[in-house]
Amino acid sequence: MAEAYSDVRGFRTLLAKEIRRFVSVIGQTVTAPVVTALLYLVVFAQALRGQPSSYPDVSYTQFLVPGLIMMSVLQNAFANTSSSLTQSKFMGNLVFVLMAPLSTLEIFGAYVLAALLRAALVVVVLIAATWPFVHLVIERPLALIAMFLLAGGTLAALGMIGGIVATKFDHLAAFQNFVVMPLSFLSGVFYSIHSLPPFWEQVSRFNPFFYLIDGFRYGFFGVGDAPILHSLLWGLGCFLLVSTVCITMLKTGYKLRA
C-alpha cells in the first residue's frame, strides 16, 4: 500500500465505487431497514401507546422515533463497511484497492464516508415516512449532527474491523447478531433507562450505544437520560478508539495481505 502518495482522484474513485455499490441495491440497503424500523414503530407504538416517555410534553411515539432512527444508523453504517470489505476479500478484488496509490487514511475515509451517506439517506427516508404520523422538532441541531457523525463513524469503523477479521460470512453474522444487535436493543431505544430497576439502569450506563442513541434523542427534544456532554465524550472516545484500531489494521495489512 503506497503510504507516501496521496491522490484526491483515488479517494473520490473509491468513494464513488462504495456509493454505487449500495445504491445499486437500494431496495436492500435503504428500503429494507426503513420498512423494518416502521414495523417496530407500529408494533411498539400500539402496544405501549399509553406508556409515559419520562420526558415532559413528549409522547411515547415521539420518544420512540429518534431511537429507531439511530438504531437504523448504527446497524446500516456497520453493515455497509463490513459487507463491502468481506465481499471484496472473498471475491479477490480487495487487492486492487490495496495496490492503488491510496494512503491508509484515504481508504479509511472513503469507506466511512460512504457508510455515513447511506446512513444519512436512511435517516432522511425514515423522517419523511414518519412525518405524517409523528411530528418532531429539532431543538438542538448541532448536537443532532454531531451524534449522527460520531455514531455512524464509530459503527462504520467497527464494520471495517469486522470485515477485516471475518474469514467467512458466518463470522460477520455472529458479529452483527451477538454484538451490534444486542447493544442496540439494550441501549434505550424502546424505553428510558430511568424506568429500569437501579441495578440495570447502572448497567445500561456502561453500554456505549446508550450514549449514542440518547445524545441523538437529545438533539430532537433538548433533554436526555444522560447529560449531552457525557454522550458527546463517549461518542468521541468510541470513535477515536475504534478508528485507531481499524487504521492500524489497514496500515499493517492484518488479514488483508497474503
Whether 227 is in a domain gets the answer yes
Q: What is the residue whose three cell numbers read 422515533?
A: 65
Span between the terminal Cα atoms of the chain, in Å: 13
- How many domains does the chain fold into? 1
Whether 189 is in a domain gets the answer yes
pLDDT surpassing 50 at residue 1:
no
Q: Which of 60-64, 242-246, 250-254 has the highest mean pLDDT?
A: 242-246
What is the total residue count of the chain? 258
102 backbone dihedrals φ, ψ, rounded to 5°? -125, 140
pLDDT in tens, 87-98: 998 888 888 888
Whether 1 is in a domain gets the answer no
pLDDT surpassing 50 at residue 3:
no
pLDDT at residue 4 in the model = 42
CA dihedral 21, 24, 213, 250 (to 10 degrees): 0
Q: Which of 90-99, 177-186, 225-234 has the highest mean pLDDT?
A: 225-234
User: Would you state the cell numbers that stand for residue 95, as one nine-digit string?
Assistant: 487487492
Whether 2 is in a domain gets the answer no
Q: Per-residue pLDDT averaged across 146-170, rounded? A: 94
Q: Per-residue pLDDT averaged across 100-122, rounded? A: 95
Mean pLDDT of the chain: 91
Q: How far is CA 143 from the centre of its chain?
A: 16
pLDDT at residue 47 in the model = 74
Instruction: Specify burial of residue 78 (Cβ count, 10 A radius: 0-12, 13-18, 19+).
Output: buried
pLDDT surpassing 60 at residue 5:
no
Q: Per-residue pLDDT averaged across 107-132, rounded? A: 95
Whether 229 is in a domain gets the answer yes
Q: Per-residue pLDDT averaged across 171-183, rounded? A: 90
Of 46-60, 144-158, 228-242, minimum mean pLDDT range: 46-60
pLDDT in tens, 12-32: 999 999 999 999 999 989 999
pLDDT at residue 91 in the model = 87
Whether 215 is in a domain gets the answer yes
Whether 131 is in a domain gets the answer yes
Give residue 172's domain range.
8-252
Residue type, 151: A
pLDDT at residue 44 in the model = 85
Query: How far apart are alpha carbons 210 and 231 in whole angstroms?
Result: 8
pLDDT in tens, 122-156: 999 999 999 888 888 899 999 999 999 999 999 99
Query: How far apart are alpha carbons 121 and 31 in whole angstroms?
Result: 10
Whether 192 is in a domain gets the answer yes
